[in-house]
Chains A and B, each alone.
Chain A
Amino acid sequence: MSPDAGIEVRIWRGGAQGRYETFRAPRRENQTVLDIVTWIQREADPTLAYRFACRVGVCGSCAMTVNGKPRWTCRTHVSKVASGGRLTIAPLRNLTVIKDLACEMTPFFEKWRRARGRFEAAISRDDPLVPVSPESPERRAADAAIECINCAVCHAACDVVAWRGDYLGPAALNRAWAAWNDVRDGDRTAVLAAAGAEAGCGNCHSHQSCAEHCPVGINPTRSIAGLKRAGLAALLRGAL
Protein backbone atom coordinates (compact mmCIF):
# COMPACT_ATOMS: atom_id res chain seq x y z
CA MET A 1 0.00 0.00 0.00
CA SER A 2 1.36 3.43 -0.84
CA PRO A 3 1.79 5.77 2.12
CA ASP A 4 -0.79 8.30 0.91
CA ALA A 5 -3.63 5.93 0.06
CA GLY A 6 -4.91 6.02 3.62
CA ILE A 7 -6.32 3.08 5.52
CA GLU A 8 -9.80 2.04 6.58
CA VAL A 9 -9.95 1.38 10.32
CA ARG A 10 -12.89 -0.21 12.13
CA ILE A 11 -12.79 0.52 15.86
CA TRP A 12 -14.97 -0.91 18.60
CA ARG A 13 -17.05 1.79 20.30
CA GLY A 14 -19.00 1.37 23.53
CA GLY A 15 -18.77 -1.20 26.31
CA ALA A 16 -19.73 -4.87 26.24
CA GLN A 17 -22.62 -3.78 24.03
CA GLY A 18 -21.41 -1.61 21.23
CA ARG A 19 -20.59 -1.49 17.54
CA TYR A 20 -17.74 -0.90 15.16
CA GLU A 21 -17.21 2.61 13.83
CA THR A 22 -15.25 3.11 10.64
CA PHE A 23 -12.55 5.78 10.29
CA ARG A 24 -10.10 6.67 7.56
CA ALA A 25 -6.56 7.40 8.70
CA PRO A 26 -3.52 8.52 6.70
CA ARG A 27 -0.84 5.89 6.02
CA ARG A 28 2.74 6.66 6.95
CA GLU A 29 6.03 4.81 6.68
CA ASN A 30 6.90 2.67 9.73
CA GLN A 31 3.47 3.32 11.21
CA THR A 32 2.30 1.26 14.19
CA VAL A 33 -1.27 0.32 15.08
CA LEU A 34 -0.95 2.57 18.13
CA ASP A 35 0.02 5.47 15.83
CA ILE A 36 -3.25 4.92 13.95
CA VAL A 37 -5.37 4.83 17.12
CA THR A 38 -3.62 7.94 18.43
CA TRP A 39 -4.18 9.77 15.12
CA ILE A 40 -7.89 8.91 15.22
CA GLN A 41 -8.23 10.07 18.83
CA ARG A 42 -6.40 13.35 18.15
CA GLU A 43 -7.65 14.19 14.68
CA ALA A 44 -10.99 12.41 14.13
CA ASP A 45 -12.77 11.68 17.41
CA PRO A 46 -11.37 12.89 20.76
CA THR A 47 -13.96 10.79 22.65
CA LEU A 48 -12.17 7.56 21.69
CA ALA A 49 -10.92 5.81 24.84
CA TYR A 50 -7.72 3.70 24.80
CA ARG A 51 -4.64 3.14 26.91
CA PHE A 52 -0.96 3.62 26.24
CA ALA A 53 2.06 4.95 28.11
CA CYS A 54 5.61 4.16 26.95
CA ARG A 55 5.02 3.51 23.19
CA VAL A 56 8.15 1.35 23.08
CA GLY A 57 6.99 -2.09 24.29
CA VAL A 58 7.92 -1.80 27.93
CA CYS A 59 4.83 -0.81 29.90
CA GLY A 60 2.35 -3.35 28.53
CA SER A 61 -0.65 -1.03 28.57
CA CYS A 62 -1.56 -0.72 24.87
CA ALA A 63 -2.62 -4.29 24.06
CA MET A 64 -5.69 -4.60 21.83
CA THR A 65 -7.26 -7.09 19.47
CA VAL A 66 -5.98 -6.26 15.98
CA ASN A 67 -7.64 -8.08 13.08
CA GLY A 68 -8.75 -10.80 15.48
CA LYS A 69 -5.46 -11.35 17.31
CA PRO A 70 -4.27 -9.91 20.62
CA ARG A 71 -1.20 -7.72 20.06
CA TRP A 72 0.90 -4.97 21.65
CA THR A 73 -0.13 -2.15 19.36
CA CYS A 74 2.92 0.07 19.93
CA ARG A 75 5.24 -2.55 18.41
CA THR A 76 2.86 -3.86 15.75
CA HIS A 77 3.53 -2.35 12.36
CA VAL A 78 0.46 -1.69 10.26
CA SER A 79 2.23 -3.13 7.21
CA LYS A 80 2.52 -6.51 9.01
CA VAL A 81 -1.14 -6.88 9.98
CA ALA A 82 -3.36 -4.78 7.69
CA SER A 83 -4.92 -7.42 5.52
CA GLY A 84 -6.50 -5.98 2.38
CA GLY A 85 -5.67 -2.46 3.52
CA ARG A 86 -8.07 -2.69 6.47
CA LEU A 87 -7.66 -2.76 10.22
CA THR A 88 -10.22 -3.92 12.76
CA ILE A 89 -9.29 -2.90 16.29
CA ALA A 90 -11.18 -4.18 19.32
CA PRO A 91 -10.54 -4.34 23.07
CA LEU A 92 -8.80 -7.39 24.54
CA ARG A 93 -10.84 -10.58 24.90
CA ASN A 94 -11.61 -12.11 28.33
CA LEU A 95 -11.76 -8.76 30.13
CA THR A 96 -14.70 -6.44 30.77
CA VAL A 97 -14.71 -3.47 28.40
CA ILE A 98 -14.93 -0.11 30.17
CA LYS A 99 -15.22 1.98 27.03
CA ASP A 100 -14.05 1.54 23.44
CA LEU A 101 -10.57 -0.02 23.60
CA ALA A 102 -10.00 0.27 27.36
CA CYS A 103 -10.62 -2.82 29.52
CA GLU A 104 -11.01 -3.25 33.26
CA MET A 105 -7.64 -4.74 34.31
CA THR A 106 -8.42 -5.30 38.01
CA PRO A 107 -9.54 -8.96 37.68
CA PHE A 108 -6.37 -9.66 35.68
CA PHE A 109 -4.11 -8.40 38.46
CA GLU A 110 -6.27 -9.96 41.17
CA LYS A 111 -5.33 -13.27 39.57
CA TRP A 112 -1.64 -12.44 40.07
CA ARG A 113 -2.37 -12.02 43.77
CA ARG A 114 -4.41 -15.24 43.88
CA ALA A 115 -1.54 -17.14 42.23
CA ARG A 116 0.78 -15.81 44.97
CA GLY A 117 3.05 -14.24 42.40
CA ARG A 118 4.89 -12.14 44.98
CA PHE A 119 8.08 -12.46 46.98
CA GLU A 120 7.93 -13.37 50.67
CA ALA A 121 11.22 -12.67 52.38
CA ALA A 122 12.68 -15.36 54.60
CA ILE A 123 15.29 -13.09 56.18
CA SER A 124 15.48 -9.48 57.36
CA ARG A 125 17.52 -6.61 55.94
CA ASP A 126 20.09 -7.17 58.68
CA ASP A 127 20.98 -10.63 57.39
CA PRO A 128 23.65 -11.09 54.72
CA LEU A 129 22.51 -11.30 51.09
CA VAL A 130 21.69 -14.77 49.78
CA PRO A 131 23.81 -15.52 46.72
CA VAL A 132 21.89 -16.87 43.71
CA SER A 133 24.07 -18.31 40.97
CA PRO A 134 23.03 -17.17 37.47
CA GLU A 135 23.80 -20.71 36.34
CA SER A 136 21.51 -22.49 38.80
CA PRO A 137 18.51 -24.30 37.25
CA GLU A 138 16.08 -22.25 39.37
CA ARG A 139 17.59 -18.95 38.30
CA ARG A 140 17.53 -20.01 34.64
CA ALA A 141 13.89 -21.06 34.92
CA ALA A 142 13.01 -17.75 36.56
CA ASP A 143 14.96 -15.87 33.87
CA ALA A 144 12.86 -17.48 31.14
CA ALA A 145 9.65 -16.26 32.78
CA ILE A 146 10.65 -12.95 34.35
CA GLU A 147 10.43 -10.47 31.45
CA CYS A 148 6.62 -10.38 31.38
CA ILE A 149 5.32 -6.83 30.77
CA ASN A 150 1.80 -7.57 32.13
CA CYS A 151 0.13 -6.68 28.84
CA ALA A 152 -2.60 -9.39 29.19
CA VAL A 153 -2.15 -10.51 25.57
CA CYS A 154 -1.74 -14.13 26.74
CA HIS A 155 -4.80 -13.82 29.00
CA ALA A 156 -6.81 -12.63 25.99
CA ALA A 157 -5.42 -15.43 23.80
CA CYS A 158 -6.24 -18.21 26.30
CA ASP A 159 -9.30 -20.33 25.49
CA VAL A 160 -9.46 -21.76 29.01
CA VAL A 161 -9.89 -18.23 30.41
CA ALA A 162 -12.70 -17.75 27.87
CA TRP A 163 -14.36 -20.97 29.07
CA ARG A 164 -14.09 -20.30 32.78
CA GLY A 165 -13.42 -16.74 33.84
CA ASP A 166 -11.95 -17.69 37.21
CA TYR A 167 -9.02 -19.62 35.65
CA LEU A 168 -5.81 -17.92 36.82
CA GLY A 169 -4.54 -17.70 33.26
CA PRO A 170 -1.08 -17.79 31.69
CA ALA A 171 0.26 -14.45 32.96
CA ALA A 172 -0.46 -15.04 36.66
CA LEU A 173 0.73 -18.64 36.51
CA ASN A 174 3.89 -17.65 34.63
CA ARG A 175 4.56 -15.13 37.40
CA ALA A 176 3.93 -17.84 40.03
CA TRP A 177 6.49 -20.05 38.26
CA ALA A 178 9.08 -17.25 38.45
CA ALA A 179 8.23 -16.73 42.13
CA TRP A 180 8.51 -20.45 42.88
CA ASN A 181 11.95 -20.52 41.32
CA ASP A 182 13.18 -17.75 43.62
CA VAL A 183 15.19 -19.77 46.14
CA ARG A 184 15.26 -16.81 48.54
CA ASP A 185 11.49 -17.01 49.04
CA GLY A 186 10.47 -17.99 52.57
CA ASP A 187 7.46 -20.15 51.66
CA ARG A 188 7.79 -21.53 48.13
CA THR A 189 5.29 -24.31 48.83
CA ALA A 190 2.61 -21.64 49.25
CA VAL A 191 3.13 -20.71 45.60
CA LEU A 192 2.45 -24.30 44.53
CA ALA A 193 -0.63 -24.45 46.75
CA ALA A 194 -2.01 -21.19 45.31
CA ALA A 195 -1.14 -22.01 41.69
CA GLY A 196 -2.47 -25.56 41.97
CA ALA A 197 -5.79 -24.67 43.60
CA GLU A 198 -9.13 -24.89 41.77
CA ALA A 199 -9.03 -23.00 38.45
CA GLY A 200 -5.22 -23.04 38.64
CA CYS A 201 -2.39 -24.68 36.70
CA GLY A 202 -4.18 -28.05 36.55
CA ASN A 203 -6.75 -26.53 34.21
CA CYS A 204 -4.25 -25.57 31.50
CA HIS A 205 -4.94 -27.54 28.30
CA SER A 206 -1.49 -26.73 26.84
CA HIS A 207 -3.04 -25.12 23.74
CA GLN A 208 -0.04 -22.76 23.72
CA SER A 209 -2.00 -19.76 22.44
CA CYS A 210 -0.26 -17.77 25.19
CA ALA A 211 3.19 -18.69 23.88
CA GLU A 212 2.08 -18.08 20.30
CA HIS A 213 0.90 -14.52 21.04
CA CYS A 214 3.28 -13.37 23.80
CA PRO A 215 4.95 -10.24 22.37
CA VAL A 216 8.15 -10.70 24.39
CA GLY A 217 8.61 -14.37 23.55
CA ILE A 218 7.79 -15.92 26.92
CA ASN A 219 6.33 -19.45 26.92
CA PRO A 220 3.77 -19.46 29.76
CA THR A 221 2.66 -22.98 28.80
CA ARG A 222 6.13 -24.20 29.72
CA SER A 223 5.96 -22.31 33.03
CA ILE A 224 2.56 -23.86 33.79
CA ALA A 225 3.89 -27.32 32.96
CA GLY A 226 6.71 -26.62 35.43
CA LEU A 227 4.15 -25.71 38.11
CA LYS A 228 2.24 -28.92 37.39
CA ARG A 229 5.43 -31.01 37.75
CA ALA A 230 6.56 -29.20 40.90
CA GLY A 231 3.06 -29.47 42.39
CA LEU A 232 2.85 -33.20 41.72
CA ALA A 233 6.31 -33.75 43.19
CA ALA A 234 5.41 -31.76 46.31
CA LEU A 235 2.18 -33.70 46.65
CA LEU A 236 3.95 -37.04 46.36
CA ARG A 237 6.53 -35.91 48.95
CA GLY A 238 3.69 -34.97 51.26
CA ALA A 239 4.79 -31.33 51.28
CA LEU A 240 1.55 -30.01 49.77
Chain B
Amino acid sequence: MTARLFLVQRLTAVILAPLVLVHLGVIVYAVRNGLSAGEILDRTRGSLGWAAFYGGFVLTVSVHGAIGLRAALIEWGGQGRRTAARVALAAALLLLVLGLRAVWAVVGGGAP
Protein backbone atom coordinates (compact mmCIF):
# COMPACT_ATOMS: atom_id res chain seq x y z
CA MET B 1 0.00 0.00 0.00
CA THR B 2 2.71 2.48 1.04
CA ALA B 3 4.78 1.62 -2.04
CA ARG B 4 1.71 2.27 -4.23
CA LEU B 5 1.07 5.61 -2.55
CA PHE B 6 4.71 6.47 -3.21
CA LEU B 7 4.34 5.52 -6.88
CA VAL B 8 1.11 7.53 -7.28
CA GLN B 9 2.72 10.52 -5.52
CA ARG B 10 5.65 10.46 -7.97
CA LEU B 11 3.43 9.99 -11.03
CA THR B 12 1.11 12.84 -10.05
CA ALA B 13 4.18 15.04 -9.44
CA VAL B 14 5.36 14.32 -12.99
CA ILE B 15 1.92 15.25 -14.35
CA LEU B 16 1.64 18.36 -12.14
CA ALA B 17 4.97 19.91 -13.08
CA PRO B 18 3.97 20.91 -16.67
CA LEU B 19 0.39 21.71 -15.60
CA VAL B 20 1.64 24.22 -12.99
CA LEU B 21 3.98 25.83 -15.55
CA VAL B 22 1.18 26.19 -18.12
CA HIS B 23 -1.17 27.51 -15.42
CA LEU B 24 1.35 30.18 -14.34
CA GLY B 25 2.15 31.01 -17.97
CA VAL B 26 -1.52 31.50 -18.79
CA ILE B 27 -1.96 33.80 -15.78
CA VAL B 28 0.95 36.00 -16.91
CA TYR B 29 -0.26 35.97 -20.54
CA ALA B 30 -3.94 36.56 -19.70
CA VAL B 31 -3.46 39.63 -17.50
CA ARG B 32 -1.20 41.50 -19.92
CA ASN B 33 -3.94 43.96 -20.90
CA GLY B 34 -5.96 43.80 -17.71
CA LEU B 35 -8.46 41.08 -17.01
CA SER B 36 -12.20 40.87 -16.56
CA ALA B 37 -14.49 37.98 -15.61
CA GLY B 38 -16.15 38.33 -18.99
CA GLU B 39 -12.84 37.90 -20.81
CA ILE B 40 -12.05 34.72 -18.87
CA LEU B 41 -15.46 33.24 -19.46
CA ASP B 42 -15.31 34.06 -23.18
CA ARG B 43 -12.19 31.91 -23.39
CA THR B 44 -13.25 29.08 -21.13
CA ARG B 45 -16.98 28.63 -21.57
CA GLY B 46 -17.71 25.56 -23.63
CA SER B 47 -14.00 24.84 -24.13
CA LEU B 48 -13.33 21.13 -23.91
CA GLY B 49 -9.58 21.82 -23.84
CA TRP B 50 -9.70 24.02 -20.72
CA ALA B 51 -12.20 21.64 -19.10
CA ALA B 52 -9.77 18.75 -19.64
CA PHE B 53 -6.75 20.83 -18.53
CA TYR B 54 -8.22 22.12 -15.27
CA GLY B 55 -10.28 18.98 -14.65
CA GLY B 56 -7.07 16.97 -14.84
CA PHE B 57 -5.30 19.58 -12.72
CA VAL B 58 -7.91 19.31 -9.97
CA LEU B 59 -7.88 15.52 -10.03
CA THR B 60 -4.06 15.34 -9.82
CA VAL B 61 -3.86 17.99 -7.10
CA SER B 62 -6.46 16.18 -5.00
CA VAL B 63 -4.49 12.92 -5.10
CA HIS B 64 -1.00 14.46 -4.81
CA GLY B 65 -1.94 16.88 -2.04
CA ALA B 66 -3.74 14.25 0.00
CA ILE B 67 -0.83 11.79 -0.07
CA GLY B 68 1.56 14.57 0.95
CA LEU B 69 -0.79 15.68 3.71
CA ARG B 70 -0.94 12.12 5.04
CA ALA B 71 2.86 11.97 5.28
CA ALA B 72 3.05 15.43 6.87
CA LEU B 73 0.40 14.54 9.46
CA ILE B 74 2.34 11.44 10.49
CA GLU B 75 5.82 13.00 10.40
CA TRP B 76 5.13 16.49 11.73
CA GLY B 77 1.65 16.19 13.24
CA GLY B 78 2.37 13.15 15.39
CA GLN B 79 -0.81 11.49 14.13
CA GLY B 80 -1.37 7.75 13.76
CA ARG B 81 -1.71 6.18 10.33
CA ARG B 82 -5.47 5.75 10.56
CA THR B 83 -6.19 9.36 11.57
CA ALA B 84 -3.80 10.64 8.91
CA ALA B 85 -5.46 8.50 6.24
CA ARG B 86 -8.94 9.72 7.20
CA VAL B 87 -7.96 13.40 7.24
CA ALA B 88 -6.10 12.98 3.93
CA LEU B 89 -9.11 11.28 2.32
CA ALA B 90 -11.40 14.07 3.54
CA ALA B 91 -8.97 16.67 2.15
CA ALA B 92 -8.83 14.84 -1.19
CA LEU B 93 -12.64 14.81 -1.47
CA LEU B 94 -12.89 18.47 -0.45
CA LEU B 95 -10.26 19.53 -3.02
CA LEU B 96 -11.93 17.40 -5.67
CA VAL B 97 -15.45 18.77 -5.07
CA LEU B 98 -14.40 22.42 -4.72
CA GLY B 99 -12.04 22.17 -7.68
CA LEU B 100 -14.45 20.46 -10.06
CA ARG B 101 -17.17 22.92 -9.02
CA ALA B 102 -14.85 25.79 -9.96
CA VAL B 103 -13.96 24.14 -13.28
CA TRP B 104 -17.66 23.65 -14.03
CA ALA B 105 -18.32 27.31 -13.18
CA VAL B 106 -15.93 28.57 -15.86
CA VAL B 107 -16.34 26.01 -18.61
CA GLY B 108 -19.92 24.79 -18.11
CA GLY B 109 -23.25 26.32 -17.21
CA GLY B 110 -24.08 29.01 -14.68
CA ALA B 111 -24.57 32.72 -15.11
CA PRO B 112 -21.51 34.59 -16.47
B81 within 8 A of A: yes
Q: Which of A136-163 contact B (CB under 8 A)?
A: 160, 163
B76 within 8 A of A: yes
A24 to B33, CA, bound (A): 73
Chain B nearest CB: distance from A204 CB in Å?
A: 11
Q: C-beta contact mask, A219-240 vs B, less than 8 Å → 1, else 0?
A: 0000000001001100110001
Q: Which of A154-190 contact B (CB under 8 A)?
A: 160, 163-164
Decide if B74 touches A235 in the complex (CB within 8 Å).
no
Residues in A with CB closer than 8 Å to B75 are 160, 163-164, 203
Contact (A197, B7) CB under 8 Å given A160-B75, A164-B75: no
Decide if A236 touches B7 in the complex (CB within 8 Å).
yes
Residues in A with CB closer than 8 Å to B2 are 196-198, 200, 202
Minimal Cβ-Cβ distance residue in B for A193: B3
Residues in A with CB closer than 8 Å to B71 are 203
Decide if A231 touches B81 in the complex (CB within 8 Å).
no
B4 within 8 A of A: yes
Name A231's contact: one of B3, B74, B76 (CB within 8 Å): B3
A231 to B1, CA, bound (A): 12
Residues in A with CB closer than 8 Å to B5 are 202
Residues in A with CB closer than 8 Å to B6 are 196, 202, 228, 231-232
- How extensive is the interface on chain B, given as a class? 10 to 19
Residues in A with CB closer than 8 Å to B4 are 235
A235 to B9, CA, bound (A): 13
A-B contact count (CB 8 A): 32
B10 within 8 A of A: yes
Residues in A with CB closer than 8 Å to B10 are 232
Minimal Cβ-Cβ distance residue in A for B5: A202
Q: C-beta contact mask, B1-42 vs A, less than 8 Å → 1, else 0?
A: 111111100100000000000000000000000000000000
Chain A nearest CB: distance from B11 CB in Å?
A: 9
A232 to B5, CA, bound (A): 11
Residues in B with CB closer than 8 Å to A240 are 3
Chain A nearest CB: distance from B59 CB in Å?
A: 21
Chain B nearest CB: distance from A162 CB in Å?
A: 10
Chain A nearest CB: distance from B49 CB in Å?
A: 30
A107 to B10, CA, bound (A): 30
Decide if A202 touches B3 in the complex (CB within 8 Å).
yes
Best-surrounded residue of B3, B7, B10, B81 (most CB of chain A within 10 A):
B3
Name A196's contact: one of B3, B74, B76 (CB within 8 Å): B3
Q: Which of B62-112 contact A (CB under 8 A)?
A: 71, 74-76, 81
Residues in A with CB closer than 8 Å to B3 are 193, 196-197, 202, 231, 235, 240
Could you name 20 residue pairs across A and B whose Cβ atoms are closer than 8 Å? A160-B75, A163-B76, A164-B74, A164-B75, A193-B3, A196-B6, A197-B2, A198-B1, A202-B2, A202-B3, A202-B5, A202-B6, A228-B6, A231-B3, A231-B6, A232-B10, A235-B3, A235-B4, A235-B7, A236-B7
Write the residues of chain A forming the contact surface with B, with a CB cutoff of 8 angstroms. 160, 163-164, 193, 196-198, 200, 202-203, 228, 231-232, 235-236, 240
Write the residues of chain B forming the contact surface with A, with a CB cutoff of 8 angstroms. 1-7, 10, 71, 74-76, 81
Top 4 A-B pairs, shortest CB-CB distance:
A202-B6, A196-B3, A163-B75, A198-B2
